[in-house]
A and B are shown apart, each in its own frame.
Chain A
């Protein structure tokens, strides 16, 4: 099967890769580019563990063909914190113990970033509905919601 050459920007870095037409963005991220922070929980778009930002839009990378990323920008969990400092969402996940096993955490962090970039002051209900595409089986979501609320407050420059 002939492969297609794809040029894309991933976490701000220009990248190129070869992929088969049927390969998902998730498979290329994980298997070809070795960016394994993005997780596979279902490969059917139901769990959100593979959440990435396409330009600034939240998507399940398992539902996107890798060839579709040509000329676009992708942000994965590896691109959320830059340099020495964690993103406030990551910091608050740690402080609130908003993770137990941690497999869903990258997806939640990316999804929460997409929300807070768009809506800096969401209600609890808005957070719950925005994160409804991300499954967590360990926490019951309580501490995740609180971490996102607290991160929003910090990002707005208010003391928590």
Chain B
């Protein structure tokens, strides 16, 4: 249960323990690791978006001096169908195995078909060029309309839509259907005074982490392997590699490097199993790194979507019914983020009657991966855009319209459970008061507002707290630190133990040195791994009380822990002097051995997160270019352990969302080849595109966490898409339903409106 209390270090803006190494270039990221005798591995990728592999001839490549191993699909075992659990994205191990290395078919441009390991990158490139692959080229299926058409080319002839009441009679590209409903939507729409409807599309976008995927794999002749890699979850790298290669989990040790961004994109494997096969065949360690081009073409972007939303409302703004038809591209294999997108779409609102229908659809694009609040930005972009239009039609302030329908504690979420304490109304009230909500706007300028939501995750975490001989503290945990979580862990351990923050150091340990942890994802680390650190610290306190009691010869119940020391309860044996953590540690040899605290848990009650974002934009009528003038992010964090890193999450998510709204998209040609696989043409926001991002942290304590923490990392990307789009609508008077709102699209809409 959450405890109201005065904190000593929680909520302070301390310097992160891994900071100095990161500003001086000492920190080792994925591509920074090397071993003696290491070979360089590279992947040959399909030049076709959709084709059957007829023959692969590696004879010439294998004769090149300096080539030590060549791998194709024939070197990988057949993997049976089994759902992948524990990660952040949806998927199947059989599909994962063929995504890592194609067998009989390629399903996107850039799909891996062979790999080589050579003494240098240049020789590896020469070997790739010498591999001959014969393809039977098939028609590429490049968007939802084409994929869902009756006579569509099939990407997987054995795929029958799952989740329908009756098994369909013929295969299709629709992998799954999902439905949520409440009440009677026909009745709900009949009760409405106003009904609005809109169809919205979002493009394929990439997480855009700056560090490409990289790993070194080394497997010995006895089958024992070590993998060094950048990942959001090294335990998942271990389990996925073990499944894809049919190896024993205990024989694979995964050592996580520092990670240069992931946003969900580093929750699966691409290179690791391939490097393992090359290492096995060559008998040497193999390093593999993706180029940026490969990251765009062959890692896991986020789904393009088509969403139709319909809302019925009374004149006073009360929602009577809502429906959503949501189609999400999965890429070449099933498993998009359609399900969480469907669960989030109406989550902020009380809706008596609703129907949500979701479709998971194959297209000839790379298999999507999680991207920050996976699925939510797309469906909520659609819903929040339509609510904006409804507010305009009803002449109700967009904050008031949302307040009228907002969920609060006790409301039944559209996706099922009843909400506990949540901060949505608090965010809306804060937005009303924010000076940016009443700032003056000039010509061609507009203001947009939207809500964001994400469940946040709990899942499995474990941690150890070691007390060193001088009373300093080492926290051993297994959640890769992607944005300053070591600082949060150290703050929580310091708060519990009552020692200065600087006396706590945090180690993100490998799969053999730390207990199991699920991925760094789902905004779960500060919440769940933090809870494990708090419990492990409390384990230490219990042991310290026991040792003090034994030292003093009193009952354990008569000892208290206060400000980093054991003291007797008031009125008990007043002669004894308090024992500090350092004193107990120094004496531990005489009182029972080293102090080692442990905790493992499956964290429940992660505490849903809500946000309100406001964007002010200026649209240049000559060029269609949008400038963001002000951006305000308001979000319920439960309790901000390190406020600067909470603000950082809000600011970073806002800017990713701004990029999604304004510029970012995969552009394909008719053959299914991505035309902009580089940072020059896949235009992510740069510093000169942006204003400062104003943040207000709201703190409505999550009752399931000792300090009230709820996850913060994912909510920030959800609201910006619609906030920016609604601002463009306000500035231009035109609703442009498809993202991105890039200059050519806006210009075309402005000119069409004039004509």
**Most chain A beta-carbon contacts within 10 A, residue among B22, B31, B212:** B22
Contact B29 A139 (CB under 8 A): no
Which of A42, A102, A145 sits near B687, CB closer than 8 Å? A145
Nearest B-chain residue to A124, judged by Cβ = B692
Nearest A-chain residue to B19, judged by Cβ = A94
Which of B32, B291, B645, B684 sits near A137, CB closer than 8 Å? B684
Chain B residues contacting A40 (CB-CB under 8 Å) are 31, 212, 289
Say how far A95's CB is from chain B's closest CB, in angstroms: 7
> In the complex where A36-B25, A42-B678, A106-B25 touch, is A97 in contact with B209 (Cβ < 8 A)?
no
Chain B residues contacting A96 (CB-CB under 8 Å) are 644
Say how far B377's CB is from chain A's closest CB, in angstroms: 15
Cβ-based interface call for A56 (8 A):
no
Which of B292, B648, B685 sits near A42, CB closer than 8 Å? B292
Binds B, one of A64-72, A73-81, A152-160: A73-81
> In the complex where A100-B648, A137-B652 touch, is A46 in contact with B687 (Cβ < 8 A)?
no
Contact A104 B210 (CB under 8 A): yes
- Give the CA-CA distance A125 to B690 in the complex, in Å: 10
Q: How many residues of B contact A (CB 8 A)?
A: 60
Contact A143 B651 (CB under 8 A): yes
Cβ-based interface call for B374 (8 A):
no
Chain B residues contacting A90 (CB-CB under 8 Å) are 20, 23-24
Contact A41 B654 (CB under 8 A): no
Chain A residues contacting B34 (CB-CB under 8 Å) are 34
Contact A132 B260 (CB under 8 A): no
- Give the CA-CA distance A47 to B24 in the complex, in Å: 19
Cβ-based interface call for B688 (8 A):
yes
- Give the CA-CA distance A146 to B209 in the complex, in Å: 22
Contact B261 A137 (CB under 8 A): yes
Chain B residues contacting A33 (CB-CB under 8 Å) are none
A-facing residues in B198-212 (Cβ within 8 Å): 207-212
Nearest A-chain residue to B651, judged by Cβ = A140
**Most chain A beta-carbon contacts within 10 A, residue among B13, B31, B649, B652:** B652
Contact B20 A80 (CB under 8 A): no
- Give the CA-CA distance A9 to B360 in the complex, in Å: 56
Cβ-based interface call for B482 (8 A):
yes
Contact B22 A140 (CB under 8 A): no
Contact A137 B208 (CB under 8 A): yes
- Give the CA-CA distance A99 to B15 in the complex, in Å: 11
Say how far A44's CB is from chain B's closest CB, in angstroms: 6
Cβ-based interface call for A6 (8 A):
no
**Most chain A beta-carbon contacts within 10 A, residue among B208, B642, B687:** B687
Cβ-based interface call for A58 (8 A):
no
Contact A137 B263 (CB under 8 A): yes
Chain B residues contacting A104 (CB-CB under 8 Å) are 210, 260
Cβ-based interface call for A54 (8 A):
no
Contact B690 A41 (CB under 8 A): no
Contact A139 B679 (CB under 8 A): no
Chain B residues contacting A144 (CB-CB under 8 Å) are 687
Chain A residues contacting B484 (CB-CB under 8 Å) are 97, 100
Cβ-based interface call for B441 (8 A):
no
- Give the CA-CA distance A11 to B470 in the complex, in Å: 38
> In the complex where A41-B210, A139-B652, A144-B687 touch, is A102 in contact with B20 (Cβ < 8 A)?
no
Give A residues with C-beta under 8 Å from B.
1, 20, 30, 34-44, 46-47, 49, 76-78, 80-81, 86, 90, 93-97, 99-106, 109, 125, 127-129, 131-146
Minimum-distance CB pairs A-B, first 6:
A37-B25, A103-B260, A102-B22, A140-B655, A140-B651, A77-B25
21 intermolecular pairs with C-beta atoms under 8 Å apart: A20-B122, A35-B25, A37-B26, A39-B29, A42-B292, A78-B24, A78-B25, A96-B644, A100-B483, A101-B209, A102-B29, A106-B25, A128-B690, A131-B686, A132-B686, A134-B687, A136-B210, A137-B684, A139-B652, A145-B687, A145-B692
- 13 more contacts with CB within 8 A, not counting A40-B289, A47-B210, A137-B684, are A37-B25, A39-B260, A40-B212, A41-B211, A77-B24, A80-B24, A93-B19, A100-B483, A100-B652, A102-B27, A102-B260, A134-B686, A141-B690
